[in-house]
Structure 1
Amino acid sequence: MSCPHHPTPEPPRGAEIVRQEGAQLDFSRSMSYGDYLHLDEILGAQHPLSPEHNEMLFIVQHQTSELWMKLMLHELGAAVRHVGSDRLQPAFKMLARVSKIMEQLVHAWDVLATMTPPEYSAIRPYLAQSSGFQSWQYRCIEFTLGNKNAAMLQPHAHRPDLLQVVETAWHAPSLYDEALRLLARRGLPVPDSHTTRDWTQPYAASEAVQAAWLEVYRHPEQHWDLYQLGEELTDLEDAFRLWRFRHLTTVERVIGFKRGTGGTGGVSYLRKMLDVVLFPEIWALRTSL
């Protein structure tokens, strides 16, 4: 019996709702949310080296970007295999997802841009030569999308295990290479120079390849899935350009024209990357339509 002056407290309304829903509350003998996601390892992986408050932002920004890039490579690799085996419908889903991931990465720069130049300058000495330029996952994305450059293997030479992964992407046909091979299999006039070439070499635009894509775009009803593939590739490069551009503007906002910690020219290097076109004929054909 409760004392009239001290009534027995009722359980919190939220707890009662949980009980009514039949939710499990005791996870001592089963896998929990944190167990499944390995949250102890993930949330324990931030180790600032400076006494500065803002270093946590810098670390989390780059760690989450690497997680998104891991998913991007997972989707891109599967999409390349599907295009190579003429299974375009699942490839379209994966390429659309990659474009959305890039949108997430674009917005991630918005968060880092809240770091002011003095705040970054305070943590920069603690970074030594570490730089996003050394991201092996980003390099694999570039290679998978066709921006092949043998010099970009060197930043990974100190890690033979990672170098092997990057070299595999360097030697493999890119997404665009597989798209052109698909066009050739469908009877479109893609020259042998673009279907059996050395995949480690940078891609060179071809008027013959542009003519093949023009046939697709002028007669979409006859080549609907190839037409859709062309537009998925356009979406993908459009998103990639925005990601690169947002990277450039954030770096210029935070460090100006200082050299990057990895030894690059910083803003000058990133501006050159804006000129790289991954799927040149798909963009050029628009002038001819």
Structure 2
Amino acid sequence: MMTDEARRRTVPSEYAQYAALDELLHLQWPRTKAPAELSFLITTQVMELYFKLLEHEWTAACAKLDADDVRGALVDLRRGHGVQDALIASWEALRTLTPAEFDEFREAFGAASGIQSELYRELEQALGVPSPSHPDAPSLERSAAGLLQRRGFDGWLAVYRAADHNPDLFDLGEALYDAAERFTRWKQRHLMAVWRSMGEKTGSAGTSGAEWLARGVHQKYLAELWNVRTEAWVA
């Protein structure tokens, strides 16, 4: 007959069931015995989960913008900012990865590369990067532009010049800018991690590695919101 202690060891707690811990904690399959590989693998998986959560928040924000619910969209965007902050901080888990440690398992994942992440590409599209493979995916840029047009504005500069009369749109512009800036900062942290762990070596999936990443770290997503900072806000 099973004792209470044995039952406690075999029956998952409600917490474990809710978080699906039995499945979640068995999804890590390092391909080598290198000590640093598990850190690399888990960090990669954590980032994909955060990508999924950020896509959820941005999709909800797009739906609210399409329905002219600016306040609701701001709630989703600001919740997304927290997700992005966590994404940026995720690089801390790999901050000390040395070239020697990385080389112990790098060849084991072959041509696998973050450039192949579908979720990442969908997030870029939401920020205005065209994606022929997902032409109808939710887009913060497109939804915001539609909202401005319905409110009688031909672009963000007009909104910023009339900020006193349209504070909700001004707040929306700043929240979108915050999302775009955080996305760029995540890419910058990616480049720093690559420089530290592999220098200028050739990257995975046929990329040039750090050189390829460096070309994109200054990309201005939702570019119009960056450009208005060069203009005079007082008409």
Same fold (TM over 0.5): yes
Aligned counterpart, 1:48: 30
Match for residue 37 of structure 1 among 13, 16, 19: 19
Answer yes or no: is 1:142 the counterpart of 2:124.
yes
Distance 1:27 1:86 in 2: 51
Cα shift readout 1:77-100 (whole Å, capped 9, x = no counterpart):
111111111011111011112122
Aligned counterpart, 2:150: 185
Pairwise mapping of residues 138-217 of structure 1 onto structure 2 (< 5 A)? 138-150=120-132, 167-168=133-134, 170-172=135-137, 174-188=139-153, 190=154, 209=155, 213-217=156-160
How far is the alpha carbon of 1:31 from its aligned partner? 6.3
How far is the alpha carbon of 1:30 from its aligned partner? 8.9
Larger radius of gyration, structure 1 or 2? Answer: 1
Match for residue 245 of structure 1 among 188, 192, 200: 188
How far is the alpha carbon of 1:229 from its aligned partner? 0.7
Distance 1:29 1:256, change over 3 A: closer
Distance 2:205 2:28 in 1: 21
| Equivalent pair of 1:127/1:261 in contact (CA under 8 Å) | no
Aligned counterpart, 1:65: 47
Cα shift readout 1:66-122 (whole Å, capped 9, x = no counterpart):
111111111111111111110111110111121221111111112112111100011
TM-score calculated relative to the size of structure 2: 0.90
How far is the alpha carbon of 1:173 from its aligned partner? 5.4
Cα shift readout 1:37-92 (whole Å, capped 9, x = no counterpart):
11011100111111211111111110111111111111111111111110111110
Runs of 4+ in 1 over 4 A off after TM superposition: 25-31
| Equivalent pair of 1:57/1:112 in contact (CA under 8 Å) | yes
When the two chains are superposed, the root-mean-square deviation of aligned CA atoms in Å is 2.0
Cα shift readout 1:227-273 (whole Å, capped 9, x = no counterpart):
11101011111111111100111111111111211211111111122
Aligned counterpart, 2:208: 265
Aligned counterpart, 2:3: none
Aligned counterpart, 2:167: 224
Distance 1:173 1:119 in 2: 39
| Equivalent pair of 2:97/2:197 in contact (CA under 8 Å) | yes
Tell me which amino acid in the other structure corresponds to 1:239: R
Answer yes or no: is 1:86 the counterpart of 2:29.
no
Tell me which amino acid in the other structure corresponds to 1:220: A
How far is the alpha carbon of 1:182 from its aligned partner? 0.7
TM-score calculated relative to the size of structure 1: 0.74
How far is the alpha carbon of 1:219 from its aligned partner? 2.0
How far is the alpha carbon of 1:29 from its aligned partner? 8.2
| Equivalent pair of 2:74/2:175 in contact (CA under 8 Å) | yes
Distance 2:123 2:180 in 1: 12
Answer yes or no: is 1:96 the counterpart of 2:78.
yes
* 5+ long unaligned stretches in structure 2: 1-6
Distance 1:173 1:77, change over 3 A: closer
Match for residue 219 of structure 2 among 276, 279, 286: 276
| Equivalent pair of 2:84/2:182 in contact (CA under 8 Å) | yes
